[in-house]
A and B are shown apart, each in its own frame.
Chain A
Amino acid sequence: DVKVTQSSRYLVKRTGEKVFLECVQDMDHENMFWYRQDPGLGLRLIYFSYDVKMKEKGDIPEGYSVSREKKERFSLILESASTNQTSMYLCASSLGTQGGDKAFFGQGTRLTVV
C-alpha cells in the first residue's frame, strides 16, 4: 500500500523560527497536499502541488510556502513561525491521473510554536 511519511510526529519550535515540515510518498503520485487540522475547523488546505515544481495556493496559504523539487517530496515551510500556527499538519498524496483519486495521508505532525 502507499506510504506517506511525515518527518516528525511532534515538533516544538520558537516564535520567529523557520520551520520545515517534510513529507515523502513512495508511489510516484503526481499530487501532493498540505492540510492544517484544528478542532472545530476540520481540515483546511494550505497548498497543493500537481507536478514537480508546480504549486497552487489553497484556502489558507498566508504565512506558509512550499517546495517540491522532487516528485516524492513536498515540503511545507513556515518562514517565521507564530503561535497561531500551532496546529496539526497533515500531508497527503494521490495518483493524479484522473479526478476522484483516493488520497493517502501521513500520520500528521503536531506542531507547537512557543
Chain B
Amino acid sequence: AQTVTQSQPEMSVQEAETVTLSCTYDTSENNYYLFWYKQPPSRQMILVIRQEAYKQQNATENRFSVNFQKAAKSFSLKISDSQLGDTAMYFCAFMSYQAGTALIFGKGTTLSVSS
C-alpha cells in the first residue's frame, strides 16, 4: 500500500521569503502522479502543482516549484516570494497511474505567512 508522509506539521515564513515543504512517499509502482494541494481557511481545496513520475523535469507553476527525487521518493514544494495569501494547509498526495484510483494524502503542513 502507498503511504505519504509530511514530517512538518507547522511552518512559518515571512512575506517575500522562500519556504520549502517536505514530502516523502512509499510505493512499489514505477509510474504514478504526485500532487500538492492547498487548503486555505475557506476550506476550498485547490490544486497547486502536479508531477508525473515518468517526467524527470520538475514541475513549476509561477512561484511554486517542486523538487522531485524519484529514487529517494521525495517530493518537496518550494514557495518563492511568499505572500500572505499563501497561508494555508498544504497536502501532498499520491495517485497511481491507472484510471479510477483515488488520491492518497499526507497529514498536511500548516503554513503561516507573516508580514
Binding site for B on A (CB under 8 A): 30-31, 33, 35, 40-45, 48, 50, 58, 88, 90, 92, 96-103, 105, 107-108
Binding site for A on B (CB under 8 A): 6, 9, 32-33, 42-45, 47, 50, 52, 91, 95-108
CB distance from B107 to the nearest CB of A (A): 4
Contact of B102 among A30, A48, A98 (CB under 8 A): A48
- Residues of the B chain whose Cβ atoms lie less than 8 Å from the Cβ of A101: 99
Summarize B's interface: helix, strand, loop or mixed.
Answer: loop
List of 6 A-B pairs having minimum Cβ-Cβ separation, nearest first? A100-B33, A105-B45, A42-B107, A50-B100, A43-B105, A99-B97
Are B47 and A43 neighbours in the complex by a CB distance under 8 Å? Answer: no
Q: How far, in angstroms, from A30 to B99 measured CA to CA in the complex?
A: 10
Q: How far, in angstroms, from A31 to B33 measured CA to CA in the complex?
A: 17
Are B107 and A31 neighbours in the complex by a CB distance under 8 Å? Answer: no
Are B91 and A100 neighbours in the complex by a CB distance under 8 Å? Answer: no
- Residues of the B chain whose Cβ atoms lie less than 8 Å from the Cβ of A108: 43
